[in-house]
Amino acid sequence: MIKVYLIVGILCIPTIECFNFVEPNPKQYISLEKCLAEGKMVGDDMYDRMNKLGIPTRLKVWCQQINHHGEYS
């Protein structure tokens, strides 16, 4: 079994609600460090977009491990 990570997160807009999210076309990362680095860039980009629109947000992005059994032959 191969350890694989996906970027996931939660975006909260005060007084409205919180939304869970994953990337539209989730990329699978084999390295946790690479996943965390990419996740930080995704989170920073999303936070900047919301600020430009004047929407106050709280944002948390992390990498979630999933089990990957490889391809079947």
Q: Domain locations in the chain?
A: 2-68
Length of the chain in terms of residues written = 73
Band (pLDDT 50/70/90 cuts) for residue 26 is confident
The count of C-alpha atoms lying within 13 angstroms of the C-alpha of 3, restricted to the half-sphere facing its C-beta, is 7
**53-73 pLDDT, tens per residue?**
999 999 999 999 987 766 653
- Write out the H or E segment, with its range, that includes residue 65: strand 58-68
Position 70 scores a pLDDT of 61
Rounded Cα distance, 60 and 19, in Å: 11
State pTM to two decimals. Answer: 0.78
Rounded Cα distance, 58 and 56, in Å: 7
